[in-house]
């Protein structure tokens, strides 16, 4: 959403700005994964910078590295929007998490809370 969006807030969870390393790949796919950075994160999803545009509904397998866990968090997410930022190079891809186990929900919540307090 643009910074000057004037409509009602539709997000279910607060979103914290944070640059976290994310490895992602399309599923099902036999090709390898790409590495990028998040722009923000919530319990429900994230905004990820990608090097290609993904069709809405594409499922991605994510490995997210967060500061409160030494191991990457594995999550399946679905593309809600993939918008070109720099022609043929950079895309902002909005994702919704499809399933997050309780342990990883706790780690994401701890991370989001920390970054929201940090401002």
Nearest to 103 by CA among 77, 66, 53: 66
94 has pLDDT over 50: yes
What's the whole-model pTM score? 0.85
In the numeric block, the tokens 């993939």 are attached to 82
**Model pLDDT for residues 35-47, shown as the tens digit of each residue:** 999 999 999 999 9
**Model pLDDT for residues 6-20, shown as the tens digit of each residue:** 444 455 788 999 999
Q: With contact defined as beta carbons under 8 Å apart, do 64 and 11 qualify?
A: no
Q: What domains can be seen in the chain, in order of their start residue?
A: 16-118 (2.40.10.220)
């Amino acid at each position: 959403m643009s910074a000057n969006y004037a409509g009602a807030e539709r997000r279910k969870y607060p979103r914290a700005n944070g640059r976290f390393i994310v490895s992602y790949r399309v599923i099902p796919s036999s090709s390898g994964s790409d590495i990028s950075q998040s722009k923000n994160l919530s319990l429900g999803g994230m905004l990820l910078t990608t090097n290609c545009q993904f069709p809405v509904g594409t499922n991605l397998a994510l490995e997210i590295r967060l500061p409160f866990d030494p191991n990457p968090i594995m999550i399946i997410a679905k593309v809600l929007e993939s918008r070109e930022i720099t022609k043929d190079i950079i895309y902002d891809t909005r994702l919704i998490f499809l399933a997050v186990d309780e342990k990883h929900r706790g780690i994401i919540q701890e991370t989001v809370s920390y970054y929201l307090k940090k401002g």
